[in-house]
């Protein structure tokens, strides 16, 4: 598999439009795709699996009340 088809937590953050801390929480969710394996950068996922998850699941409900002006 070519490296550009894999996503580390950094790429997960970019795909999901969130910071790395939030992406790190996403990848620990039970409904997040299983990683393909571990490289020097840490766990990696198939990019297409992350994109499908993001399209289906985001935005996640925050549990916060909506902002008012």
Instruction: Give the tens place of pLDDT for each residue, 5-32.
Output: 999 999 999 999 999 999 999 999 999 9
CATH number, domain with residue 28: 1.10.1660.10
Instruction: Give the tens place of pLDDT for each residue, 31-67.
Output: 999 999 999 989 999 999 999 999 999 988 776 666 7
Q: Domain range spanning residue 47?
A: 3-57
Quick check: is 62 in a domain?
A: no
Helices 9-16 and 20-27 pack at an angle, to 10 degrees, of 100
Quick check: is 66 in a domain?
A: no
Q: How many domains is the chain built from?
A: 1
CA 48, 53, 58, 62 torsion-angle sign: negative
Quick check: is 64 in a domain?
A: no
pLDDT surpasses 80 at 2: no
pTM score of the predicted model: 0.81
Which burial class, exposed, middle or buried, applies to 24 when counting CB atoms under 10 A from its CB (0-12, 13-18, 19+)? middle
What pLDDT is recorded for position 61? 78
Quick check: is 41 in a domain?
A: yes
């Amino acid at each position: 598999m070519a490296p550009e088809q894999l996503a580390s937590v950094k790429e997960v953050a970019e795909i999901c439009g969130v910071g790395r801390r939030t992406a790190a929480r996403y990848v620990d969710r039970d409904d997040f795709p299983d990683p393909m394996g571990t490289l020097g950068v840490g766990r990696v996922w198939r990019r297409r699996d992350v994109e499908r998850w993001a399209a289906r699941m985001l935005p996640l409900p925050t549990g916060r009340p909506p902002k008012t002006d």
